[in-house]
Structure 1
């Protein structure tokens, strides 16, 4: 089975590769793509794979945009962190949809189903209906965090967050009042839970609130450098690839 992976987080793509190898050494990974643009170009030029493992939220947009600009004839298994109600909507249309972190058993079952559909030569995607279902669904983003405190709990409103950062694999909130609180979620999980109109994943270490951006400066090789209102000593580098997304996010 020839498999195409569309996933912008390298560690998630590597994990998928390892699981696919464990499931069957006969699987052939024909490509690992990270963006909507790259995926469109690949699908226009290359032979259709037997199945596509496709993340929904990519660095340059939603993967649904791929279907509008390229002819996707392969069975698609979506992989993402959206809530269970969206999953049910897709299941009704017999489209496989796996929530991260993906379990090997679930992936194996989804691949068997996709292979069966492919061999039957049966259509696996009713794309217009599926896209409509997902685009019409309003995502519910996190509004607050309940955190353990001294002899009880404390509530941190999302609107009070200046930025989120990770250090030695531990995730922290930095609030507008300059307090630091530890979180149990990973940066990847938080990126999916927070409203993308308000929060931006600047790099692997930082997620920033739009109201905390102090200034932006050009850096070398097309990169951008962000300084924050709460702490001007912190400089957050944004890659050349993400720089256009940052400017688009701020220019709404």
Structure 2
């Protein structure tokens, strides 16, 4: 059973989100942290008994969390959280039972916690199989096949500036200024598109990173995006996602 969980996370909205979900899913567990840096994590893990589980962000205030393992070797399961899929294989080498893409969703966290408890009980084969499944299935969409005249045409994802949903219709605005209707929902596309290049900024928009000209501070901690080719659009980013999108754009 998981009685003690340590959170290593340098972004307060993400840490608060984890705490909220963990309190719901594991109401009897003690939660320590968040710890915000590599150096503080090393200090804490050196001075305290190993918790039953560590929730660990890949990118911390002073470097990558993998640097922690040069100094200390936690023997408990670790669930990595990251906005970048490229770290998944490295995470697997460090006793990870799973990794979750930000923003972490409650149902995905619940699944990872079940795997962590199985790992505690010595079922390492299941943990390894589960993580490899997660890694191997992350192949992102590169193009769309669309009806065109009497046949079909393809558009590459690199041609997309942003994707917009309204009245249950999903449209992609292309770099040439035209719009194409897609059959997928934003929820489906959020999973299919590479998070290095696409970000779901709110319920209506997924934006390609190259389409963004500037970010402005807005009311109540929100952000406003200005697009290079569509400056007239008012696209707002919630306070919960403000730090996430700034981290995404700074990588």
TM-score bracket relative to the smaller structure:
0.5 to 0.7
Q: Deviations over 1:50-84 (max 9, x none)?
A: 2113465x6x79x981131574625233356998x
| Deviation for aligned residue 1:143 | 0.7
8 Å contact from structure 1 (residues 219, 225) kept in 2: yes
For 1:147 and 1:190, locate their aligned partners in 2 and report how far apart those are by CA, in whole Å. Answer: 19
Name the CA distance, whole Å, in 2 between partners of 1:12 and 1:153.
Answer: 44
Alignment of 1:12-23 (within 5 A): 14-21=20-27
Pair 110,216 (structure 1): closer, same or farther in 2 beyond 3 Å:
closer
TM-superposed CA distance for 1:194, in Å, is 1.0
CA distance in structure 2 between the partners assigned to 1:165 and 1:9 by the alignment = 29
Q: Which position in structure 2 is the counterpart of 1:131? A: none
Partner of 1:179: 180
Distance 1:207 1:153, change over 3 A: same
Give the one of 92, 107, 120 matched to 1:114: 120
SS at match of 1:4: strand
When the two chains are superposed, the root-mean-square deviation of aligned CA atoms in Å is: 5.1
State the distance in 1 between where 2:142 and 2:234 align: 27
Aligned to 1:190: 190
Q: Give the gaps of 5 or more residues in structure 1.
A: 118-133
1:248 alignment partner in structure 2: 250
Go from structure 1 to structure 2 and tell me whether the alpha carbon gap of 1:110 and 1:236 turns closer, same or farther (over 3 Å shift): same
Cα-to-partner distance string for 1:7-26 (whole Å, 9 max, x where unaligned): 738767655543334xxxx4
> Following TM superposition, by how much is the alpha carbon of 1:203 offset from its aligned partner in structure 2, in angstroms?
5.5
Count of residues paired in the alignment: 213
For residues 20-35 of structure 1, what are the structure 2 equivalents within 5 Å?
Answer: 20-21=26-27, 26-31=28-33, 33=34
- The answer for the alignment partner of 2:233 in structure 1 is 234
In the TM superposition, 1:30-49 aligns within 5 A as: 30-31=32-33, 33=34, 38=36, 40=38, 43=41, 44-45=43-44, 47=48, 48-49=50-51
Question: Do structure 1's residue 65 and structure 2's residue 71 form an aligned pair?
Answer: no
Per-residue CA distance 1:19-46 (angstroms, 9 max, x = gap): 334xxxx432334x5xxx8254763457
Instruction: State the secondary structure of the residue aligned to 2:141.
Output: coil
CA distance in 2, matches of 1:105, 1:246: 25
Q: Where does 1:131-150 land on structure 2 (aligned, <5 Å)?
A: 140-145=139-144
Where does structure 2 lack aligned partners over 5 or more consecutive residues?
102-106, 124-134
Separation of aligned partners in 2, 1:5 and 1:192: 28
Change (3 A) 1:222 1:97: closer
Give the 3 Å change call, closer, same or farther, for CA 80–172 of structure 1 in structure 2: farther
| 8 Å Cα contact 1:51-1:74 kept in structure 2 | no
* Secondary structure of the structure 1 residue equivalent to 2:179: coil
Residue aligned with 1:53, SS: strand
Distance, in Å, in 1 between the alignment partners of 2:221 and 2:227 is: 20
Q: Specify the alignment match of 1:2 in structure 2.
A: 4
1:66/1:204 Cα in 2 relative to 1: closer, same or farther (>3 Å)?
farther
